[in-house]
Structure 1
Amino acid sequence: MTVPRSASAPTVRPARGEDFDLLAGLLQLYLHDFSEHTGWDVDEHGLFHYAWLDAYRHEQGRHAYVFRVEGRPAGFALVREAERIQMAEFFVLRKYRREGVGLAAARHLLEAHAGAWSITQLASNPEATSFWRRAIPVPFEETVEADGTVEQRFSIERP
């Protein structure tokens, strides 16, 4: 019998200049995983494109975060402040899934950005919906939108 490895609690910190190369690499893994649901293809060089990464480096109201476990990259999140705060992208490397890393990182980010939130997932990705239902630490309203997304709306109060 194999005993599952227990990951340490992740550190979650805002991405700095040197982290954006790491984010670009992790985005390739994320977009590869996500292509199962979107049908996206790579370009002639074998790369996926994410048009907004540079905006997270320079624009107000956009926040990039890197997760690490024992100093090793474990995932990232991109948070966008608009009418509601949005979890634009959230990714945990497969090695760290189902070990509490994503849950701890998500809750850290939700608490760090108090206010009205909207988190969406594709209806074709029930694992993501199940994850967010567990991760959101307050009551939420959930709707299934006509565009094939599931949305949770809720508010996080400042402590």
Structure 2
Amino acid sequence: MTAPPSATAPTILSARGEDFALLARLLQLYLHDFSEHTGWDVDEHGLFHYAWLDAYRHEAGRHAYVFRVGGPTAGFALVREAERIHMAEFFVLRKYRRAGVGLAAARLLLEAHVGPWSITQLATNPEATSFWRRAIPVPFEETVQADGTVEQRFTIDRH
């Protein structure tokens, strides 16, 4: 998957083999950023834990992606397919934020997975909600769930 050519157009690659070590390191940055909203702490070794990364390597219906701009890594996404397709995690390195990288990457990923989608954000993270409202390229329903999350539901059709 690639976006139209530009200085900040990301290339989205399916994670393979050694990419999972990269994803584990990027997850530390993501979970650090996210801890502002969750209150999570690092362990005694200074690490955050993400229990599901290995599932993205081995389980059907789970897809891990790495974003690159030119050669450098710019972010990642973890997508889970069940009765709906769910953006489990989505992260863009700070250097690439507000440059269109996240928006382009999100739209490429959404279009790559045809079907009914659900994307959730914590209500305490209005920047994420604002981002997804812009990124979703089709009409969507938005609800605030009892657990304190904001959810957008929509369907991506085959072009």
TM over 0.5, yes or no? yes
Displacement after TM superposition at 1:18 (Å)? 1.1
**Matched residues in 2 for 1:28 and 1:8: separation?**
24
Aligned to 1:19: 19
Identity within the alignment, %: 87
Q: Which residue of 1 aligns with 2:3?
A: none
Q: Cα gap change, 1:42/1:120 in structure 2, threshold over 3 Å: closer, same or farther? A: same
Q: Does the residue aligned with 1:45 lie in a helix, a strand or coil?
A: coil
1:62-101 per-residue CA deviation (whole Å, 9 max, x = no partner) reads: 0000001111010000000011000000000010000000
Runs of 4+ off more than 3 Å: none
Unaligned residue ranges in structure 1 (runs of 5+): 1-5
Deviations 1:33-76 (A, max 9, x none): 00000000000000000000000000000000000111101000
* Count of residue pairs the alignment pairs up: 154
Q: Cα offset for 1:8?
A: 2.0
What secondary structure sits across from 1:30 in the alignment? helix
CA contact (8 A) 1:7 1:99 kept: no
Map of 1:2-41 to 2, 5 A cutoff?
Answer: 7-41=7-41
1:7–1:101: 8 Å Cα contact kept in structure 2?
no
Give the C-alpha shift of residue 22 in structure 1.
0.5
Cα RMSD between the aligned structures? 0.9
| Map of 1:98 onto structure 2 | 98
**TM-score calculated relative to the size of structure 2:** 0.95
